[in-house]
Structure 1
């Protein structure tokens, strides 16, 4: 539930900021709300279609290389989460600037209102597609039921939409750097946990056999199927009996994503001392 909530919350916040920028810049443009709403609806519809096709693919492969398929989903989801952090760190400001530019052109009459709908639809479709892939990764990890994922996704959607609305109307002021810094850290741990979980499926399929010995056993202290163990598993990838390969993949993924995200972030100019 927590994994789904964090992922959906982050993506809704990003989509909400995009919609907020467009609405703010085109505040005085008549009927701009209809076009923005249409763009949101088109993006959501596209993400839903992607979810249907992904579900059909999963059902078609059920029982035939299911472990390999689950591992592939987890690996792709972990890579996408990592790339998402890195891309947002390096392109977040430029994207916001581009969106403001499109909004100003529409407000000045240089572009048709259809441009707003297209920009919003593409943004929502991108975020929605990432949600679909990431939730399939959470499902493939085997620690979340469908009900808990739906509850977490609904909670993330509600919280993200509410916070986006409050921030747009100026009722709540949270620095974007702080908000995305916290969620970026959580997503980094989620991605590392997914990468490590993919090793379990590859070992079950007999595709990975090196470093298969259990490194430690803390099931007596904190089993990963307990309530607190599940929370730690979702948030930080905790496993009570990890293999050597699981631990190695987790540490490499965690450090690699952290360093790459930090390197991609634009450097703030230092003030000169006279």
Structure 2
């Protein structure tokens, strides 16, 4: 639940900031009449994301066990790739995101009526599809059915509330630091999802070494215990881990964390703060 709350909070806040920036710019430039098109695009993005989530959840049912494990493992690895790209993309482009969005709005407003709908749908939909895939993969890894989804929903609702407060100018948050530290958390969570995806592929018979364990601490950390559940839900920790799972986690988390921290030190996202985005506080 905690891991999925973090995923929902971060991804939801990214989407909320996109909406806030677009809405504030429309108001500031006297295009308030175009706001319904913006919300139409947001609604389209949400509907597509929900449909994608439903397809992931119910699509594999009826397949053989090996096929389900192969699909689950493959999609988990894809989810790790997407979230890795996302955290690095945010670290590199945070300072220019507002300018890029304003440029897209200007082009869309001067074009066809549905242009702004597409801009909003693409901007929010990218976050929505990534969120749906990564939450699904994280939920599969924890073996739960309800709590991960509840945690993700709570994170998304919190993000929507924070976005509203930022838009109204009530809340001042150093978003640069927020995204930096949540990026670190997501990389660690992604490492667990990657290890789980490897395990799925081993169970499907695609990868070898299913019974070659690097360690087995099930006696000290029973999976059914509260601390076992906590470690599983937050870090996707498995008491019985194969050598291939352990190697994948180490070879992913250590270098990716190093590169991510170095990227943030080289170019801190200064423009992603409420204080440096005055348009966010614009409202009628």
Indicate whether 1:74 and 2:76 are aligned: yes
| Superposition TM-score, scaled by structure 2 size | 0.83
Cα displacement (A) at 1:125: 1.2
Corresponding residue of 2:252: 253
What's the offset of the Cα at 1:4?
2.2
1:105-184 equivalences in 2 (<5 Å): 110=110, 114-141=114-141, 143-184=142-183
Answering whether residue 90 of structure 2 is matched by residue 49 of structure 1, we say: no
Could you say which residue in structure 1 is the equivalent of 2:19?
19
For 1:112 and 1:24, locate their aligned partners in 2 and report how far apart those are by CA, in whole Å.
Answer: 21
1:88 matches 2:71: no
Q: Does 1:10 align with 2:10?
A: yes
Shift of the 211–120 alpha-carbon distance from structure 1 to 2, 3 Å rule, reads same
- Most deviating of 155-164 and 202-211: 202-211
Distance, in Å, in 1 between the alignment partners of 2:138 and 2:151 is 11
Distance 1:214 1:8 in 2: 33
Q: Name the Cα RMSD after superposition.
A: 2.6
Q: Secondary structure at the match of 2:155?
A: helix
The 3 A distance-change label for structure 1 pair 144 and 172 is farther
Shifted more, 93-102 versus 79-88: the winner is 93-102
Question: Is 1:229 equivalent to 2:228 in the alignment?
Answer: yes
Q: Residues 230-252 of structure 1: CA distance to partner in whole angstroms, max 9, x if unpaired?
A: 22223323222222222111111
Encode CA deviations 1:152-192: one digit per residue, 9 max, x unaligned. Answer: 12201211101111122221211111110121011101110
CA distance in 2, matches of 1:113, 1:80: 31
CA offsets 1:125-170 (integer angstroms, 9 cap, x no match): 11111122112212331x2422213311220121110111112222
Matched residues in 2 for 1:169 and 1:129: separation?
27
Matched length: 266
Q: State whether residues 73 and 140 of structure 1, in contact with CA within 8 Å, keep that contact through their aligned partners in structure 2.
A: no
> Which of 23, 28, 31 is the matching residue for 1:29?
31
Contact kept, 8 Å, 1:61 with 1:69, in 2: the verdict is no
Within 1, Cα distance between the matches of 2:226 and 2:34?
47
Relative to structure 1, the CA distance from residue 22 to residue 197 in structure 2 (aligned partners, 3 Å threshold; closer, same or farther) is same
- The 8 Å contact of residues 5 and 152 in structure 1, kept in 2 or not, is answered as yes
Provide structure 1 residue ranges, at least 5 long, that are not aligned to the other structure: 270-274
2:191 corresponds to:
192
Q: Where does structure 2 lack aligned partners over 5 or more consecutive residues?
A: 269-284
Pick closer, same or farther for the CA change 1:266–1:43 going to 2, 3 Å: farther
TM-score by structure 1 length?
0.85
